[in-house]
Chain A
Amino acid sequence: MSDEEQNYSMFSSRILVDTIGDVTDDALKASGMKEIIGVLAGRLFNWGQRKSLFPLHLGIKCCALEMAAAGASRFDAERFGVFFRSSPRQCDVLLVNGPISKKFADPITRLWEQMPEPKWCIAMGECAISGGPYFQSYNILEGVDTIIPVDIYIPGCPPRPEALIDGFGKLREKIIRIGAMPSHARIDGTSPVIIGDD
């Protein structure tokens, strides 16, 4: 074995790294630091998550114009940290603002699955909640919660931009409560929040 290989093998040895990790872990647990770090880090991440929710730049139907108005200068949503991103890989929140047709059920599930955890879903407007005025249609699903777990429902046809911003506020409160539970574990556990249901 040459000198280089010997040096590398010493520092990259899995056994060595694992041992150091276990020792540090036990030390932190013993002194109670691990819990403190966990709580502080959790609070920090939670604060970061809820103060900078990035919704996806997805406009399905009329509520998309109210979403655009909420992002514009009169009802500025950006001062709350809400900034629309185009790529699903960079988003936290899927804001569903229109009826989901059978043709679009597949793409929207793919968008939902492309979003990395932690992620939340907001159903905006009547069409996304329950099919809306088109509940009798042959092509519209009765609500987006038939295919995606929804956290916040914002009623209205279309909801005013102030209602949308309030919806984001309620989502922030919900994030404080549930933290960053992965979405598939959230279906039965937490009940969705309905705006106006105080």
Chain B
Amino acid sequence: MRVVSEKTQSAAAEKIAKSLSKMDGVKASVDERTNGTQNRYIVTVDVDVENWRATAESLRNDHEVDYCSMITGIHWPESEEKTWEIIYHFLRTGVTDPAIEEGVVVPNIVDFSKVKGKNVPLELQISIILGETRTPSVASVQDIWVGADWNEKETWDLVGIVFEGHKGMRRVLNPHESPAGFHPLQKQHKLRYHDYEEMYDDAQGFKRKPTDVGKVK
């Protein structure tokens, strides 16, 4: 089976990293992950929050990054350098619509061992760090990648990061009646029975339901 070779991927990753580092507020580098059967080269980018929108547009237009994989929000209440971190994962797929010849579609079979230039598939990981703030907010990229739409909704719903310019923000996983400001993945919300003693005090497992208080097995 024909797969992308390590050389092409690392060369393409270096190229993007160099060109991105030229933009201001952006620090890009290539991270080599060696644990799999084949080394992977990931372009890791650190962007300041003010330059994010410009960087995103450049990624889409100049480097043809066309697939938004995931948007993660992390809350670091105890770290010194950062309080909120938003991590975007993108892929450059090199997918184009198949050509149509004489009214029949010709499937676009790419030989991955021979891709070059802007078609080399790549992984990108972009990290935006915010300091101490009660309303972390980042520019939305909903219009650049349609796939970012529901990812942003989920990140707001679970972590509480506001995406400026996002139309139609709503609760997607939590119930609609959740109280405003309830974002479960923030670290001040603890799980039920987070302190184990509470669970082991109730070894019979009875006090979990209100009707069972006082019962003995």
Measured CB to CB, the residues of A under 8 A from B are 101-103, 130, 135-139, 142-143, 145-146
Contact = CB atoms under 8 A, between A and B. Distances in A.
Contact of B192 (A138, A145, A146): A138
A136 B194 contact: yes
Interface in B176-208: 176, 184, 189, 191-194, 205, 208
Contacts, number: 28
B209 A143 contact: yes
Interface string B159-191: 000000000000000111000000010000101
A138 B158 CA distance: 11
B209 A136 contact: no
28 contacts: A101-B175, A102-B175, A103-B174, A103-B175, A103-B176, A130-B205, A130-B208, A135-B192, A135-B193, A136-B191, A136-B192, A136-B193, A136-B194, A137-B191, A137-B192, A138-B184, A138-B189, A138-B191, A138-B192, A139-B174, A139-B175, A139-B184, A142-B208, A142-B209, A143-B208, A143-B209, A145-B209, A146-B209
A50 B139 CA distance: 61
A130 B191 CA distance: 16
A116 B194 CA distance: 41
Across the A-B interface, give the 3 residue pairs with the lowest CB-CB distance, nearest first.
A136-B191, A103-B175, A136-B192
Contacts of A103: 174-176
A137 B175 CA distance: 14
A142 B174 CA distance: 17
Please classify how large the interface on chain B is, using the bins under 10, 10 to 19, 20 to 34, 35 or more.
10 to 19
Given A136-B194, A142-B209, 9 more contacts: A102-B175, A103-B176, A130-B208, A135-B193, A136-B191, A137-B191, A138-B192, A139-B174, A139-B175
A89 B209 CA distance: 30
A102 B205 CA distance: 21
Contacts of A146: 209
B22 to A, nearest CB: 44
Contacts of A142: 208-209
